[in-house]
Structure 1
Amino acid sequence: MEKKTILVGVGGGIAAYKSANLCSLLVKRGYEVQVLMTEHATRFIQPLTLQALTKHPVIFDTFAEPNPSEIAHIAVADRADLYVIAPATANLIAKLAHGLADDMVTTTALAATCPTVVAPAMNVHMFEHPAVQENLDILRRRGTLVLDPGEGPLACGYTGRGRMPEPEDIADVIEAVLHQERDLEGLSILITAGPTVEDIDPVRYLTNRSSGKMGYALAEQAARRGARVTLISGPTHLKPVPGARMVYVRSTEQMLHAVSEFFPEADAFISAAAPADFRPARTLEHKWKKSQGPLKLDLVETPDILLAASRAKRPGQVVVGFAAETDMPVDHARRKLVDKGLDLIVVNDVTKPGAGFEVDTNQVTLIGKDGSTEALPVMEKHRVADHILTRVRQVLRVSDGERPL
Structure 2
Amino acid sequence: MADSRTAEEPGPAVPLPTDLTDERLVGSTGLAGWISTAKNRLRGGDLGNLPVILGLIIISVVFYAQEPTFLSSRQLVTITQFAAPVGIISLGIVLVLLLGEIDLSVGSMSGLAAAVMTVQIVNHGHGLWFGMLAGVLTGVGIGVLYAFLYVRVGVPSFVISLAGLLGLQGLLLYVLGKNGTINLPNDLGLVTFARYKFVSGTPAYLMVVGIVLVYFAVSLYGISRRKRADLSTPSLGGLIVRSVALLAGLLYLTYYLDIDRGWSYLWLTFVAAVVVMDLALRRTTWGRHLFAVGGNEEAARRSGIKVGRIYLSVFVLCSTLASIGGLLAAAQLTSVSQTSGTTDTNLTAIAAAVIGGTSLFGGRGSAYSALLGILVLQAIQSGLNLLGVDSSVKYMITGGVLLLAVAIDSVARRARSSSGRG
Q: Which one has a larger percent strand, Structure 1 or Structure 2? A: 1
Q: TM-score, normalised by structure 1?
A: 0.24
More helix by share: 2
TM-score (norm. length: structure 2): 0.23
